[in-house]
Amino acid sequence: GAGVSQTPSNKVTEKGKYVELRCDPISGHTALYWYRQSLGQGPEFLIYFQGTGAADDSGLPNDRFFAVRPEGSVSTLKIQRTERGDSAVYLCASSLRRGNYEQYFGPGTRLTVT
Amino acid sequence: DAKTTQPPSMDCAEGRAANLPCNHSTISGNEYVYWYRQIHSQGPQYIIHGLKNNETNEMASLIITEDRKSSTLILPHATLRDTAVYYCIVAPLELRGSNYKLTFGKGTLLTVNP
């Protein structure tokens, strides 16, 4: 079956611009996670959705970052006024049921802010 | 969450067993040991997890010491496609209503050589 998909695979933007990153989880997976991975580091948690609501957004670095999941399936991570430090790979993961460490990851979106 | 320590890199010959160690000396009784791997330019992939007993699946075996302070992931017959960063993660048991975020370290880069 189809895995987690993320679009775009690569995004280059100028400092100060707004970007949206999309995640399509595995069908039927109710939990959705966003992580960010900088070069040479492991992924870091950003935000967790259970259904439509953001159950935990404690990993978002500041208020320029926001994520939605309006129908409990597709999610969009939104970054306003991008900074060069936002350059990283943004990973999305989903899991079948509430609270599960067995997560299925997408291939990520590589964001480069110039 | 308990911290983990892994060697930054290891090498293995193709066809031989790869034994990846992880130290988690501060693990508590209600924490699992999870292993993920990340092949270059892909998202992390779940491998296996355990609590206190040894576990085996189609991908690998997990050996946890009796005191649970360390574990070893074993790939019995490593192939070139097993070259990846391997992450050992300690995570609390089921959390009612809580976020099952994964906390990644830097992992071990396993290089399988022909």
Q: Does B28 touch chain A (CB under 8 A)?
A: no
- Mean pLDDT across the stretch B3-25? 97
Burial class (CB in 10 A: 0-12, 13-18, 19+), A108: buried
Q: State whether A40 and B106 contact (CB < 8 Å).
A: yes
Quick check: B26 pLDDT over 90? yes
pLDDT band at A84 (very low <50, low <70, confident <90, very high): very high
Query: Which residues contact residue A62 at a Cβ distance below 8 angstroms, ignoring those fewer than 6 apart?
Result: none
**Number of residues written out for chain B:** 114
Region A57-78: mean pLDDT is 95
Q: Token pair of A111, please?
A: 């964001």
Contact A50, A98 (CB under 8 A): yes
| A18 and A81 Cβ atoms separated by less than 8 Å | yes
User: Rounded to a whole number, what is the distance in Å from the CA of B103 to chain A's nearest CA?
Assistant: 7
Subunit contact A91:B43, Cβ cutoff 8 A? yes
Mean pLDDT rounded to a whole number for chain B: 93
Q: What pLDDT score was predicted for residue A100? A: 74
Question: In this complex, do B41 and A107 lie within 8 Å of one another by their Cβ atoms?
Answer: yes
Q: Report whether B39 contacts B83 (CB < 8 A).
A: yes
| pLDDT greater than 70 at residue B2 | no
Q: Of B53 and A8, which is predicted with more confidence?
A: A8
* pLDDT tens, residue by residue, B37-85: 999 999 999 999 999 989 999 999 999 999 999 999 999 999 999 999 9
Mutate to test the interface with A, among B1, B55, B90, B101 (most CBs of A within 10 A): B101
- The residues near B47 (Cβ < 8 Å, ≥ 6 apart) are B35, B36, B37, B57, B59, B60, B73, B86
